[in-house]
Every structure is written in C-alpha cells, then in structure tokens.
C-alpha cells in the first residue's frame, strides 16, 4: 500500500485523519504538534488501523517510526 502524510496546523483538538484514496493509497493528516505528543500519535495510529492501514509498515512519517 502506498501512503502519504500531510502535516497541518488545524484546530488544537484535531488528532488526525486517515483514509484510503481509490481503495489503495493511505493518506494521513497529522497536526504538527503530534511530532512531540506520544499519546496523541497513538490515537492517530488507532485511526489508521481502523481505516485498514498499518503504521508499522510505513517508515515515511513520525508515526511509522514510533515502532
């Protein structure tokens, strides 16, 4: 599965979003402060997992590099 990470600066309560594009490309949106917030990164990992993704297989972002 191909993946893309977008880092943005939205509302402070936003923990992230992940979804599939055309059923094969995972796109994750992460607030910039997740880089330093382990608990909220775990929340986004769960969002990705529920969406059919696997952060452990993606080494292109801070979340994939946590494991």
Q: Rounded to an integer, what distance in angstroms lies between the CA atom of residue 28 and that of residue 11?
A: 16
Summarised one tens digit per residue, pLDDT across range 6-57 is: 677 767 777 777 877 777 778 888 888 878 888 888 888 888 888 888 888 8
User: What values do phi and psi take at 9, rounded to 5?
Assistant: -125, 70
Taking 3-state DSSP, the helix, strand and coil percentages for the chain, each rounded to the nearest 5, stand at 35, 30, 35
52: which strand partners?
A: none
Cα(26)–Cα(18) distance, integer angstroms = 7
- Rounded Cα distance between 35 and 57, Å, is 18
The reported pLDDT for the residue numbered 67 is 56
Domain that holds residue 22: 2-66
Give the number of domains in the chain: 1
pLDDT at 2: 60
């Amino acid at each position: 599965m191909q993946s893309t990470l977008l880092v943005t600066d939205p509302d402070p309560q936003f923990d992230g979003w992940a979804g599939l594009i055309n059923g094969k490309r995972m796109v994750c949106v992460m607030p910039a402060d997740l880089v330093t917030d382990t608990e909220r990164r775990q929340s986004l990992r769960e969002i990705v997992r529920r969406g059919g993704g696997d952060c452990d297989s993606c080494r292109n972002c801070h979340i994939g590099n946590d494991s």
